Each structure stands twice: as C-alpha cells, then as structure tokens.
Amino acid sequence: VDATNSGRFALTAQAGQMDFLGRGASKTWGFDQPFLGPTLRLHHQSETAAEVSNALDEAISVHWHGLVVPGDVDGGPHQLVQPGQTWSPVLPVDQPPATVWYHSHTHGMTARQVQMGLAGVLHLTDGQDDARGLPTDYGVDDLTLVLQDRRFDQEGRMSYDLSMPDQMMGFLGDTMLVNGQVGATAVVPKGVVRLRLLNGSNARIYTLTLSDSRPMHLVGTDAGLLDRPIALDELTLAPGERYEVLVDFGAGQDVSLLSGQNINEGMMGGMMGGRGPSGPPFEVLPFAVDSAAPVRMTRVPDSLGGSRPKMDASNAAERHITLDMAMGPGMMMRRAENRFSINGEAFDMTKINFSTQVGQVEKWTVSANMMMHPFHVHGVMFQVLSENGQAPAPQNTGWKDTILINGQAEILMRFTRPAAEALPYMFHCHILEHEDGGMMGQFSVV
C-alpha cells in the first residue's frame, strides 16, 4: 500500500483462514488479508492519516514500531481499539528512511495476537534509493522478508500452547514462515538484491548465514541506512529487529539463507532440556536465480549517505535498567503477568516508571539476567555506545530501536517527541511472552 502520495492508509484487523501446510486450515488474523498485514510505504517526512478498524471480537492496539511519533499516536497498550471501533491517528513522520513495522501491543495479549497474525511492515522512503545504488523494485530486487516460527498440530492447524519452557523463555516453533508462507522459494534476478529482514517471531533469535558463505552486505539497521556497507558472514536477528542487507547473485548461483539454532537456549539449555543451540543450521529461505530476469543493480555501492550515530554524551541523564526473570519453581507459582520484571518491578499500567524531557540526552545501561533479551524503546532511535565494555558489534553501529542484550550494553538517545503520562512510551523485552509477563516499563516525555 503506497501512502507516499495520498498521505493516508487504512487497515482493518480481521479473522481469516490459512492452509499453511496443505493439511487443513488454521484460524488466523491479519490486516485486510487472512494473515499478517500489507507492506505500507510512507514518505519519511510526511503527515499520514492512518485508520485502524477492528473487526475482531477482542480489543487490539496497533503500535508503529520504529516510528518516532508522539505518545498519543504511538499505539501502545493504553490505546486499545475495541471491537467494531476505528482509531484514526495522524502520524507526523520525520526521520531517516528505514524499514519499520507495526504490530498489536495489547498488554498481556501481545504474544498471542502477534502469533495470530497482527503484524506488518512499513517502509519509510525518501525516493532517493536509486541514486544511492540501492535496489528498489518491490518484490523483485527489493524483498521484504518477515521471519517467524510457528507450530502446527496433526491437522495442520497453527497452535500456540505454551509449555513451561515456552512460558519462561518464550515461544519457539518448529516450522519456518517467511511472509506467512511455509516452504517458499524466492526467485531473484542475476544481480544485487536487497533483503529487508524483520524478525517478527515471538522469541526466536536467528543467526543468519548464506549457505555458500558469500557475504551479506549490511546497509541498514532498525532506524536507517549506514554511511557505508559492512560485509558480514553472519547476522544475528533478534525479535523486533530489522536489518537491510544486499546479496550479490551476479554469479548466477542459487543459495540458501540459513540460521543456526536459537542462541538463547545455550545458557539454560541444560536446565530446559533439548532446546539447546547445538544442532545443524536450518533453512530459512532458498533463493533461485532467474537468469532471464532483467538486472537493475550489479554492484554493492561504496557509500550510502546514511548517518553515523553521533551524540554528545557529556550531559546525559543516566539510568540503569535490569531485565529480570524470577527463576526456579517459584516462578510458575506467580501470576502470568508477574513472572518477569524490570528493575525488580513487573509492568503496571497505572504506574509511570520515570519521566524525561524533550531534548534530553539519556544514557541507559541495560543488563540482562539469565538469558539474552532484545530490548526495545518506543519513541526514539538510539546509538549503541558499548556492549560488555567493548565497542559495539559491527551490526550495532547504526541507528537502532531494539538491541539484543547479551550481558550489558550502554545506549545513548535523545527524545524529540512528547509522551504524556496518560499515553506514555514503553520500554520492554521484545520476547513477547516476557513483555506480556511483566518485562516492560513506561515513561513520559514532557
């Protein structure tokens, strides 16, 4: 859906059916389609009128993950769209071009609602990617890939029954879905192709490689383009994150996008049994080169003109954030929404955890206990200052809004939009079962 000229788009959350495996239909949800939602295209500096209608029989919300918009249109858990209602936020977008996304954010229900299909991708564009030498032909050499894992029962129905390990560590499926499809192959031209990767899974962390070890040229992170491409052999993609990479198919060879097993299992693998990261990589998506297809891009550009994060940390307000889980048998005795916490407190809709100001630079030291947690902040893009006291990994050197915390990281940001106490911003773990379970907080920006 191209809203760059019209300045408006509409989405209706609705129930549908999908036969993912050819064995029988699953009940699914989507926006304007049976499963997931359309890719939306917005100008990166625009005011877009959105219209979100809810034709389901339970309340939802739609959060624009990665859009730097004020709290009153952010679509968090305080902005429910009741069945039969329409929510009409105007989105004042003014940020660099990027691949962002939208998904339901109903407290306590997010994991299940996203699992059912309430998610989609949003491209912010300035129309200059051709000049940058980046592929732009949607679905041809510019592929948007939503990675999700699911489980199916004997009848081929998608199932979301949380076992005890799932409740603690987040849901893991055994079947890969790319853009809602199982077993698809991407057909690509014999040139340079752009992949916009979104991890829309509830909990799985992918470690992506290409089967013949050719490099992925990283050109964009969550919140925008890099200043120049970075060649990577492996890319870690945690829930909520987006990365844009270029892959060169110029030699005409087919290749598969692979992932290692979920790296979050290693730390507690022994304990949870059988969910460890050992085991061979699995196929995420095979690519087949169509030598007859017209080729538009033949080389990876040297520079992209994106901005390198730069912010003065000297007057930063400092905060320490610890992502906690209550472990051991006691954990399961707790109510589901109180099993996880931030700085020892489970999310409370009625409590604002802190307040900051528009223009204030903030430095947050974020620590993860027990396992890795993808940490996301609403209403801002941030720079990663360090990871475990070292310079950030190459893939974390661009603008981010979600970062996988494996130990400790320092992030630096400046809020540019207000969020009142009544409609605050969220910060949380993007393992959706953790978020629903209390690993979330909220803050106002005044």
Which of the stretches 91-99, 126-134, 177-185, 373-381 binds Cu ion when contact is defined by CB under 5 A?
A: 373-381
* Residue 105 touches which of ligand C2O, Cu ion, none (Cβ within 5-8 Å per kind): ligand C2O
Residues ≥6 apart with Cβ < 8 Å to 235: 197, 207, 208, 209, 216, 218, 243, 245, 395
Hey, is 246 helix, strand or coil?
Answer: strand
Q: What CA–CA distance (Å, rounded) separates 443 from 350?
A: 11
* Residue 103 touches which of Cu ion, ligand C2O, none (Cβ within 5-8 Å per kind): ligand C2O
Least distance in angstroms from the C-beta of 51 to ligand C2O: 21
Q: Determine if 204 is a binding residue for Cu ion (CB under 5 A).
A: no
* Residue with Cβ nearer ligand C2O (42 or 289): 42
CB 442 within 8 A of CB 426: yes
Residues at the site binding ligand C2O, with contacts judged by CB under 6 A? 63, 65, 103, 105, 240, 376, 378, 426, 428, 430
* Residue with Cβ nearer Cu ion (247 or 342): 342
DSSP 104-165: ---TTTHHHHHHHT-EEEEEEE-S-HHHHT----BTTTEEEEEEEEEEE-TTS-EE----HH
Least distance in angstroms from the C-beta of 401 to Cu ion: 6
Q: Determine if 434 is a binding residue for Cu ion (CB under 5 A).
A: yes
Least distance in angstroms from the C-beta of 428 to Cu ion: 8
Residue number of the CB atom closest to ligand C2O: 65
* Residue with Cβ nearer Cu ion (77 or 392): 77
CA separation (Å) from 357 to 64, 95, 190? 21, 19, 50
* Residue with Cβ nearer ligand C2O (44 or 376): 376
* Residue 230 touches which of ligand C2O, Cu ion, none (Cβ within 5-8 Å per kind): none
CB 370 within 8 A of CB 267: yes
- Which of 429, 432, 440, 445 is the binder for Cu ion (CB under 5 A)? 429
* φ, ψ dihedrals at 111, nearest 5°: -60, -45
Least distance in angstroms from the C-beta of 186 to Cu ion: 28
* Residue with Cβ nearer ligand C2O (7 or 108): 108
Least distance in angstroms from the C-beta of 65 to ligand C2O: 3
In the chain the first and final C-alpha atoms are separated, in Å, by 34
* AA letter at 47: E
* Residue 240 touches which of Cu ion, ligand C2O, none (Cβ within 5-8 Å per kind): ligand C2O
* Residue with Cβ nearer ligand C2O (304 or 368): 368
Query: In the block, which residue shows the tokens 């903030």?
Result: 362
Smallest CA-to-CA distance from 206 within 139, 125, 149, 249 is with 149
CB 148 within 8 A of CB 170: no
The residues binding Cu ion (CB under 5 A) are 65, 373, 378, 429, 431, 434
